[in-house]
Amino acid sequence: MSIPRSNITVGFLIFPGITQLDMTGPFEVLSRMQNARPLLIGKDRSPVSDRGLILTPTHDFLLTESLDILVVPGGPGVDEAMLDQATVKFVREKAEEARYVLGICTGSLLLAAAGLLIGRRAGGHWQARDLLARFGVDVSNERTTIDGKYFTAGGVTAGIDMALRVIAEIEGEDAAMRVQLQIEYAPEPLFAAGTPYEAPAHIVDSLLSMHRARRQSRETAVEKACESLLDGKTAPSLCDKHAT
Amino acid sequence: MSIPRSNITVGFLIFPGITQLDMTGPFEVLSRMQNARPLLIGKDRSPVSDRGLILTPTHDFLLTESLDILVVPGGPGVDEAMLDQATVKFVREKAEEARYVLGICTGSLLLAAAGLLIGRRAGGHWQARDLLARFGVDVSNERTTIDGKYFTAGGVTAGIDMALRVIAEIEGEDAAMRVQLQIEYAPEPLFAAGTPYEAPAHIVDSLLSMHRARRQSRETAVEKACESLLDGKTAPSLCDKHAT
């Protein structure tokens, strides 16, 4: 796919309850592309915050131009975003026009809720990716998953890996290596604890129990988003409560 | 070192010309500590921006309280920050009071310019860490370097590794593993290109030549900062232009 080198517009969705590194990680990488034009897009111009880090949109849903790349981060606020019709509509429209669509962490749930991932292979944060199946997604447990123009990544830090893959696609391997070296991305994780498969069982269990309430409210949100998608007749075979 | 679990104040310095991921990476990790109270501290309350990402300080240099942890990120703006007396003074005072001081990327240059790393072992971004020697630093090429309370990290993404080490110190290994799993930090870098030692030579060369002008202005800034440190009589043996 060739995008004119003169201008690559990259839109990063931001919303209340965002997990900031889902966005700022890919932002650091993608904004280093030649002639990248990064936009932070909120529903309106109100700043949003994550644990005290304030993010201010540069654009809002009135944006008319097409994006070359749409980046949809995740966070606890995805539950509300999935149920907000203006957000779902904006994501659907901009994703359909875009050449590349990134879903980071639970951002892929928002893409799925917009009906964009039906029949596609996609991943997300390990604590939520099973829920993608409710939207007709073929769930991937990989850190980065590419299906057509949909690039979905696992939790939070996986967005950095994914963004480098996007540069490699658009500008080639040398460009991706240059950015990787600029940001000195030669990680040395302190423990082998970054996935539920390698982390000690008591660590996995403690997170699952710590997040039980959030998981339940997320399941409820997914069911509602599913019904809403069904109402739109976008995916009549989805969300059948009697299905396994 | 024991910090009361009830309140861990983490101050993140922000300034014009910051590299945002130097700050947002550690922010994501450290703000997940039990009872962390993260503050974004600017010289004044004016927002700063990095490639269009706007960061808004929650506090400014009028902050009187001590920080448990001070995080100093880097970026092109470090050159100017090193020469700004108010910034150097603020960093010196808050670092001296803090229990942990993090220098991420070229943030360690700012710590060094404040005379905080004399005779200490410290690292930084691969394109700038040799300059630390001008401030009497024993330069480390490691991704993370700990000397007493000074935790310095290599370029940009190294801040994530370093922040996890800080949690392990303060709250223990289980807490660090929980955060590592929450942010799904099991990196899969696309290439072996994250350090100048492993990246292909033509990639290293292209970055060095791309950044030649910036390197020159940085060298000038370091010399000036060095003279300024000398004027303060903090380190009479430093910055001798006749020294090797």
Q: What is the pLDDT of residues A144-192, one digit of tens each?
A: 999 999 999 999 999 999 999 999 999 999 999 999 999 999 999 999 9
pLDDT, mean of residues B98-127: 98
| Residues 6 or more apart whose Cβ sits within 8 Å of residue A116 | A91, A92, A95, A96, A101, A150
Instruction: Give the one of B32, B191, B195 whose C-beta lies nearest to A184's C-beta.
Output: B195
Residue B171 CA, chain-centre distance (Å), reads 21
pTM for the full predicted model: 0.94
Residue positions of B annotated with a catalytic role? 105
Domains of chain A: 8-239 (3.40.50.880)
- What is the tens place of the pLDDT at every residue in B42-98? 999 999 999 999 999 999 999 999 999 999 999 999 999 999 999 999 999 999 999
* Residue B129 per-residue DSSP state: G
Mean pLDDT, chain A, rounded, equals 94
**pLDDT for residue B237 is more than 70:** no
Mean pLDDT, chain B, rounded, equals 94
- pLDDT > 70 fraction of chain A, expressed in percent and rounded: 93
B185–A156 CB contact, under 8 Å: yes
**pLDDT for residue B21 is more than 70:** yes
**pLDDT for residue A3 is more than 60:** no
Distance, in Å, from the CA atom of B201 to the CA atom of B193, rounded to the nearest integer, reads 10
pLDDT, mean of residues A122-140: 98
What confidence tier does B244 reach under pLDDT thresholds 50, 70, 90? very low
B40 shares contact with chain A (CB less than 8 Å): yes
Amino acid at A210: M
Cβ atoms of A115 and A147 within 8 Å: the answer is no
pLDDT value for A240: 55
Distance, in Å, from the CA atom of B42 to the CA atom of B59, rounded to the nearest integer, reads 6
A1 shares contact with chain B (CB less than 8 Å): no
Taking each continuous run of H as one helix and of E as one strand, the counts in chain B are 8, 11
Higher confidence at residue A63 or residue A238?
A: A63
Segment holding B71, helix H or strand E: strand B69-72
- A162 CB neighbour count, 10 Å cutoff: 27
pLDDT, mean of residues A236-241: 56
What confidence tier does A231 reach under pLDDT thresholds 50, 70, 90? confident
Residues 173-192, chain A: which have Cβ within 8 Å of B?
173-174, 176-178, 180-192
pLDDT value for A118: 97
Residues 125-154, chain A: which have Cβ within 8 Å of B?
125-126, 143-144, 154
* Residue B67 per-residue DSSP state: P
Distance, in Å, from the CA atom of A171 to the CA atom of B178, rounded to the nearest integer, reads 36
pLDDT value for B234: 52
pLDDT value for B230: 85
Q: What is the ipTM of this complex?
A: 0.94
pLDDT value for A238: 63
pLDDT value for B231: 82
pLDDT, mean of residues B168-174: 96
Chain B nearest-CA distance from A241, in A, is: 30
pLDDT value for A145: 98
Cβ atoms of B172 and B1 within 8 Å: the answer is no
What confidence tier does A2 reach under pLDDT thresholds 50, 70, 90? low
Rounded CA Rg of chain B: 17
What confidence tier does A78 reach under pLDDT thresholds 50, 70, 90? very high
- What is the tens place of the pLDDT at every residue in B37-50? 999 999 999 999 99
pLDDT value for B232: 72
B184–A56 CB contact, under 8 Å: no
**pLDDT for residue B213 is more than 60:** yes
Q: Which residues pair with B48 in a beta bridge?
A: B55
Lowest mean pLDDT among A13-22, A141-150, A204-213, B224-233: B224-233
Instruction: Give the one of B38, B155, B157 whose C-beta lies nearest to A160's C-beta.
Output: B157
B193 shares contact with chain A (CB less than 8 Å): yes
- What is the tens place of the pLDDT at every residue in B188-211? 999 999 999 999 999 999 999 999
- What is the tens place of the pLDDT at every residue in A181-227? 999 999 999 999 999 999 999 999 999 999 999 999 999 999 999 99
pLDDT value for B6: 72
pLDDT value for B240: 55
pLDDT, mean of residues A12-29: 98
Q: Is A239 a catalytic residue?
A: no
Region class of B17: left (phi > 0), else alpha (psi between -120 and 50), else beta: left
pLDDT value for A232: 72
- β-bridge pairing A138-139 and B48-50: unpaired
- What is the tens place of the pLDDT at every residue in A27-58? 999 999 999 999 999 999 999 999 999 999 99
Q: Torsions phi, psi of A38, nearest 5?
A: -85, 135
B187–A190 CB contact, under 8 Å: no
The vertex-A67 CA angle with A62 and A68, nearest 5°, equals: 175
A21 shares contact with chain B (CB less than 8 Å): yes
